[in-house]
Chain A
Amino acid sequence: MAAASSSDSDSGRAESNEASSKWLDAHYDPMANIHTFSSCLALADLHGDGEYKLVVGDLGPGGQHPRLKVLKGPTVLTESPLPALPAAAATFLMEQHEPRTPALALASGPCVYVYKNLRPYFKFSLPQLPPNPLEQDLWNQAKEDRIDPLTLKEMLEGIREKAEVPLSVQSLRFLQLELSEMEAFVSQHKSRSIKRQTVITTMTTLKKNLADEDAVSCLVLGTENKELLVLDPEAFTILAKMSLPSVPVFLEVSGQFDVEFRLAAACRNGNVYILRRDSKHPKYCIELSAQPVGLVRVHKVLVVGSTQESLHGFTHKGRKLWTVQMPASILTMNLLEQRSRGLQAVMAGLANGEVRIYHDKALLNVIRTPDAVTSLCFGRYGREDNTLIITTRGGGLIIKILKRTAVFVEAGGVVGPPPAQAMKLSVPRKTRLYVDQTLREREAGTAMHRTFQTDLHLLRLRAARAYVRALESSLNPVSVTAREPLKLHAVVQGLGPTFKLTLHLQNTSAARPILGLLVCFLYNEVLYALPRAFFKVPLLVPGLIYPLETFVESLSDKGISDIIKVLVLREGQSAPLLSAHINMPVSEGLAAA
């Protein structure tokens, strides 16, 4: 609760009103019909004319009509259909030659489509995988008409359940079919050899041998069969292959391929694996407690967003640095890099329509959008350096420009440890006694523990015995006998010499009233005088509290007080049902007089 309220106040500070906002609203089109994720957005000067364009791998409404869109300013420049849903879009420089216009790579299904100058240039397909021999055998039999489609279906289903090598696309499509369609499908496809190909899940770029802004970059692909591939930028051959324990979904790279690089891959099993240049297998592993929803590298810190509505910061060796809690679940993440001020921060799009910008743990800014944000991209767009592109769940497009004068300041002084932590405590010097005791504790730890345990048990035993004794002699103010469940509670009021003693008596039974009870006071007659030391209790209706009042006169003028015992008795029985000891206060009225 406290965390939630503090984060609210943080957002209040970081969020600025219209006039002093850090952002200019350049464009908002709620009907832009762009449905995509951050990985499918890229900004690049595709024509080399200084006008940066936005490349969108659009999934289409409901993921139905995937399209490649290129936007210039607020308008769509070109649009072309894609054969399959896009997985990632990236722009990179392929070669050193002038003019240095970047190529566009779009990963979709098992292929990477490379465009130059917005024209198709190259199609890279993932290498084929060996098909399951059993499946191959079945299709061969079908080819020779030795088995009918129904048997084929049953056999294939058997393979799908058990086999380690998954089925080919052809078989999977066959299994989806209705009975009537099977025959036609088999006759159409039986002569083709079955192919098994994996699909690309994620893609990013890695500089080849120079760290410059405009250096040649390799493509890095993550595939569904748990591999990472690095492609040559010119020949599109596979330069390196690395295997992972799970399917990668987000990739972050730093360094250069020919020199040294680090790859961080967030995988579907909820782990982030970190690989280095020479390692074919992960070098470090970060085990998250929840599924990752985004991975961003800020300088040397890996920031992972998880489904537990939180951001975590890790070092490149997998050591956890910090965690920040979000007010809603994270939908997307991306990097914000303001080059002119050397600032790198993480943007997180949340389900409640907020975009939060964090620099390490500190919240820098909150942008509210009318809809939940599904993708974010920050960079040079058109001719403006610091442009933020947001697309929303409803297909809306929002373009915001960071003001030239805007400076991100960390809201509130919550950075670093609290000031109290830096204060030096005046810890006393270690005395001889302290050292001796510590040594003794270290040596005879077991014996001391045993002694303590014995004493503790003895104490418990004694307490239990006292309790039993109290129960037996009805010394306690609560009676738990089956016939008369009663509760007594006494209050003394007044300063003296006359006190008012009120007994609250309650019948705690569910339904049965109690009749024929007596109350008796036992007291020192030298010190106190009571008008009636013995009286009858009226009928006790279950549940109600009966206040029984009596006055107590203090006779002594020496400022002494004593105990008055209250006994609740049943008519005709000598053993009391309940008893209470009342510690009478000293009579102040008399002392004053």
Chain B
Amino acid sequence: MGLLDRLSGLLGLKKKEVHVLCLGLDNSGKTTIINKLKPSNAQSQDIVPTIGFSIEKFKSSSLSFTVFDMSGQGRYRNLWEHYYKEGQAIIFVIDSSDRLRMVVAKEELDTLLNHPDIKHRRIPILFFANKMDLRDAVTSVKVSQLLCLENIKDKPWHICASDAIKGEGLQEGVDWLQDQIQAVKT
């Protein structure tokens, strides 16, 4: 790191980079959330199902996020584990209106938490209980119950109710994630 870089880092001009994994079942709204977090001139209008994964970047007040937006389709879910090592935080998106597949989300979350690359790391996990605008959506409290989030003892986690289309609840989640990452760093 050059002198100039260090100087700008101290002054807060250059933001720290963090790698974040964005996981969740297909059609839960991962890409929409990431899209909404990008500056408004970089947002794309129509969101299509992600194939494999895509890398997106956005900035918060003090961090620069590099997000691995993974595809949630069943056949691509086995790709997730290859990126666990690099991730410094996880965003897990849940479709609150899909009551039937809540068990699938729980199953995937349990597999994630029991993976050797994740299990012994104190890695912050942010849950978005997405699609709160839909009529049959369940509350974020109910989602955390259904996913048994209270059993996560060794990692900081936080659940936010969100509506990715309108962008509600996203900033709250990102702020929490930023605080957690900085707390881990210092």
Q: Which residues of A contact B (CB under 8 A)?
A: 24-27, 50, 73-75, 340, 381-385, 399, 401, 403-405
Contacts and interface: CB of A to CB of B under 8 A. Distances in A.
A405 B104 contact: no
B77 interface: yes
Nearest to A23: B103
B64 interface: no
B101 A382 contact: yes
Contacts of B98: 73, 382-383
A469 B62 CA distance: 119
The 4 closest A-B pairs by CB, nearest first: A24-B103, A73-B100, A26-B100, A26-B103
A383 B101 contact: yes
Interface string B72-95: 001101100000000000000000
Do most interface residues of chain B lie in helix, strand or loop, or is the interface mixed? helix
Interface centre among B25, B74, B100, B102, by most A CB within 10 Å? B100
Interface in B25-81: 25-27, 74-75, 77-78
B107 interface: yes
13 contacts: A26-B100, A26-B102, A26-B104, A27-B100, A73-B100, A383-B26, A383-B101, A384-B101, A399-B100, A401-B100, A401-B101, A403-B107, A404-B104
Nearest to B106: A24
Given A383-B27, A404-B77, A404-B78, 10 more contacts: A24-B103, A26-B100, A26-B104, A27-B100, A74-B100, A383-B25, A385-B74, A401-B103, A404-B74, A405-B111
B76 to A, nearest CB: 11
A77 to B, nearest CB: 11
Contacts of B14: none
Q: Is the interface of A mostly helix, strand, loop or mixed?
A: strand
Nearest to A50: B27
A382 B100 contact: yes
B5 interface: no
Contact of B75 (A26, A340, A399, A403): A340
Contacts of B101: 26, 382-384, 401
A71 to B, nearest CB: 10
A147 B179 CA distance: 97
A385 B102 CA distance: 15
B115 interface: no
A75 B98 CA distance: 11
A50 B99 CA distance: 16
Nearest to B49: A50
B136 interface: yes
B143 to A, nearest CB: 15
Contacts of A73: 98-100
Nearest to B72: A383
Given A73-B99, A382-B101, A24 B74 contact: no
A382 B78 CA distance: 21
A24 B107 contact: yes
A454 B27 CA distance: 88
Contacts of B104: 24, 26, 384, 401, 404
Nearest to B95: A383
Nearest to A27: B100
Contacts of B74: 340, 384-385, 404
A74 B103 contact: no
Contacts of A340: 74-75
A340 B75 CA distance: 8
B14 to A, nearest CB: 41
Interface in B132-177: 136
A24 B74 CA distance: 15
B146 to A, nearest CB: 11
Contacts of A383: 25-27, 98, 101
Contacts of A384: 74, 100-101, 104
Contacts of B102: 26
A73 B137 CA distance: 13
Contacts of A403: 107
A382 B111 CA distance: 22
Nearest to A401: B104
Contacts of A26: 100-104
A381 B103 CA distance: 14
Of listed B27, B74, B103, residue having the most chain A CB within 10 A: B103
Nearest to A382: B100
A403 B99 CA distance: 16
